[in-house]
Amino acid sequence: MVQRQFPRPVEVFENVRFKRPDLNGRRRRLAAALTVEDLRAIAERRTPRAAFDYTDGSAEAEISIARARQAFEDVEFHPEVLRDVAHVDTTATVFGASSALPFGIAPTGFTRLMQTEGETAGAGAAAAAGIPFTLSTLGTTSIEDVRAANPEGRNWFQLYVMRQREISYGLVERAAAAGYETLFFTVDTPVAGARLRDRRNGFSIPPRLTVGTVLDAASRPWWWFDFLTTPKLEFASLSATGGTVGDLLDLAMDPTISYEDLELIRGMWPGKIAIKGVQGLADAKRFADLGVDGLVLSNHGGRQLDRAPVPFHLLPEVVREVGADVDVIVDTGIMNGADVVASIALGAKFTLIGRAYLYGLMAGGRAGVDRTIQILTEQVVRTMKLLGAHSLDELSPRHVTQLERLVPRARS
């Protein structure tokens, strides 16, 4: 029999500690988020449907993004035990310089539509974390203002080649003058993908008020207050607005983009240049032969060609064939620090986060981006320790198996 007694107040307070309530709602929300998926759930509650769906959605049936995320979930890790991992080094080297972490912030368009701090929040958070920030051609903060938010850090610029070439040339010149170090020449957007969520929601740039948006606003007044009381959205490269994102991309992008455009831009750009949107080994070899500095294996977050190749699946063979000549970077589908570690183990020099950063932005502005980086950092460090790796250099293919779910049929 267990001997029982009346609880003594002194013993109760010795064994129980009451948590002091945090009256700051934003801080309380973000502290409760333990994963990027948690931040996504907060973002969905706090953001109007059209803006959230623009961020969260992808092309057509959204098969590409689902497969990309599934590929990371299908990783099997192989840990090495009884190794001293009290401290691990997460420093990565990419394009000849260091990053405190093996991931940076990917270029995202129309970012201030998701939350009004937009690219400034991302650049500031990147500066604080010691990681690169990439500004999109379709960004809603100027090249110069992003540099001001990250004056001592690493700023990269993502370039679309526009129908009006002078626009693209002017952006290249401004980015170079502002001290951006790397240019992402984007090759996977000759036309816009079919982003069906945007069409179903009637999502346009700028947002149009309809009965649906008014009703949606009633439950999210803070978002509309921020949107209507902050500076007007400005786009560095778009002079005309008033349609869906797909409509605007089709008007702006040039389906005749070619290798000649790449050579011309290379001649204008004084820094490193990487090709963003590589989706096959043959193209990877061709660009490596041209002497570019890097390749970003990406299917544009699944927002262009649905059923596109999974970048993470392409990684081993691309690294094997051209990894000695160029820095290979992976994006699309990264939602966990373990995804980052798996990519580095299979030979990637670096990774990029897009939606993961935007979920944090929508969940809590700059503080939400900081929380995204913190969550991913904790996951990277914990995964490395559990694998027995002291540094990124110690990660290798022996730590990772890509389990097969989609196996091609033999060709006749």
- DSSP conformation letters of 277-321: EE-SHHHHHHHHHTT-SEEEE--GGGTSSTTPPPHHHHHHHHHHH
Rounding to the nearest 10 degrees, give the CA dihedral for residues 216, 217, 220, 224: 140
Alpha-carbon dihedral sign for residues 171, 152, 368, 375? positive
Set 78, 87, 300, 399: catalytic member:
300
Determine the Cα–Cα distance for residues 98 and 47; give it in Å rounded to an integer: 35
* Catalytic annotation present for 390: no
**Two structure tokens written together for 67:** 């497969």
| Preceding omega of 48 cis (within 30 degrees of 0) | no
**Two structure tokens written together for 265:** 């831009």
DSSP helix/strand/coil, 16? coil
Q: Give one word for 177, left, alpha or beta, with left for phi > 0 and alpha for psi -120 to 50.
A: alpha
Residues belonging to the active site: 300
